[in-house]
């Protein structure tokens, strides 16, 4: 049986921890500083991501989610020190708009579950963050500083994380190659465009998405921004207008 997690190295102090056995192919990112480490997203929570993190660093770890969806906060239960955006604190306290039956169905959808795993035990993480984040905040792990960019659209409190020194941009569910989801009630297509405008202006050297292929170039930020601009011009940037295909990515509105 192949392992649940796959680890890939970006550089000596930055690693990708991926869950390729779920159809969404979730990626989490471990950034190690001189004093501590930052884990951007913690995955589905089906297996213990903290055991993988411990193989890569012995420093204390702070977890931060790009947004409060089950496939990004499942492993938060292993990290009592975690940060969240102010706009999604209610989702961490019983107000997430989907019930557990629906969430469990999404967890197991097209998923090669570990042998013996009982999905009925799956829970949506709840808790109070040790720090509430806002747009423009910085996270310093010692020798490395990451800037918080509030980028709503996919969700109200979605965040991208920008490391200016390396040119690394961690885009969560705002940008990846596949179908972007902006159709359900908690999404906001107009805010999505504003967020793409924001990150497309950055001098990003490498893009690190939360899902699917890691073969993604900074130019995609411009392409997505321009596509959303065109949809807006055509009066289509709203819920219910359909799915629009752009070769290696699409958006469902």
Domain that holds residue 114: 6-174+203-216
| 110 falls within a domain | yes
pLDDT at 39 over 90: yes
Determine the pLDDT at residue 239. Answer: 98
Closest C-alpha to 192, from 178, 210, 173:
173
Q: What is the pLDDT of residues 173-224, one digit of tens each?
A: 999 999 999 999 999 999 999 999 999 999 999 999 999 999 999 999 999 9
Q: Is 62 exposed, middle or buried (0-12, 13-18, 19+ CB in 10 A)?
A: buried
Determine the pLDDT at residue 242. Answer: 98
| 23 falls within a domain | yes
| 125 falls within a domain | yes
Determine the pLDDT at residue 2. Answer: 86
| 192 falls within a domain | no
Q: Is 58 exposed, middle or buried (0-12, 13-18, 19+ CB in 10 A)?
A: exposed
Supply the pTM of this predicted model: 0.97
Q: What is the pLDDT of residues 129-182, one digit of tens each?
A: 999 999 999 999 999 999 999 999 999 999 999 999 999 999 999 999 999 999
Average pLDDT over the chain, rounded to whole? 97
Determine the pLDDT at residue 146. Answer: 98
Tell me the mean pLDDT in the region 77-82.
Answer: 98
| 246 falls within a domain | no
Tell me the mean pLDDT in the region 111-125.
Answer: 94
| 148 falls within a domain | yes
Q: How would residue 234 be classed by pLDDT, with cut points 50, 70 and 90? A: very high
**Rounded Cα distance, 89 and 253, in Å:** 25
| 67 falls within a domain | yes
> For the chain, how many structural domains are there in total?
1
The CATH number that applies at residue 14 is 3.60.15.10
């Amino acid at each position: 049986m192949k392992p649940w997690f796959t680890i890939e190295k970006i550089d000596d102090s930055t690693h990708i921890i991926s869950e390729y056995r779920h159809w969404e192919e979730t990626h989490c990112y471990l950034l190690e500083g001189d004093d501590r480490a930052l884990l951007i997203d913690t995955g589905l929570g089906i297996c213990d991501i903290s055991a993988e993190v411990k193989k890569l660093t012995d420093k204390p770890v702070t977890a931060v989610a790009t947004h409060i969806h089950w496939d990004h906060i499942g492993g938060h239960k292993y990290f009592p020190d975690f940060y969240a955006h102010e706009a999604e604190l209610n989702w961490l306290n019983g107000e997430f708009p989907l019930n557990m039956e629906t969430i469990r169905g999404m967890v197991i959808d097209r998923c090669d579950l570990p042998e013996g795993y009982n999905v009925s035990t799956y829970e949506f993480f709840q808790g109070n963050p040790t720090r509430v984040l806002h747009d423009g905040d910085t996270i310093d792990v010692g020798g490395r500083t990451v800037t918080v960019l509030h980028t709503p659209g996919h969700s109200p409190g979605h965040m991208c994380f920008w490391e200016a020194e390396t040119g690394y941009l961690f885009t969560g569910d705002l940008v990846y190659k596949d179908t972007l989801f902006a159709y359900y009630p908690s999404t906001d297509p107009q805010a999505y465009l504003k967020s793409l405008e924001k990150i497309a202006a950055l001098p990003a050297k490498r893009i690190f998405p939360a899902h699917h292929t890691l073969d993604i170039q900074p130019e995609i930020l411009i392409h997505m921004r321009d596509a959303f601009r065109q949809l807006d011009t055509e009066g289509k940037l709203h819920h219910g207008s359909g799915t629009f295909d752009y070769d290696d990515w699409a958006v469902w509105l």
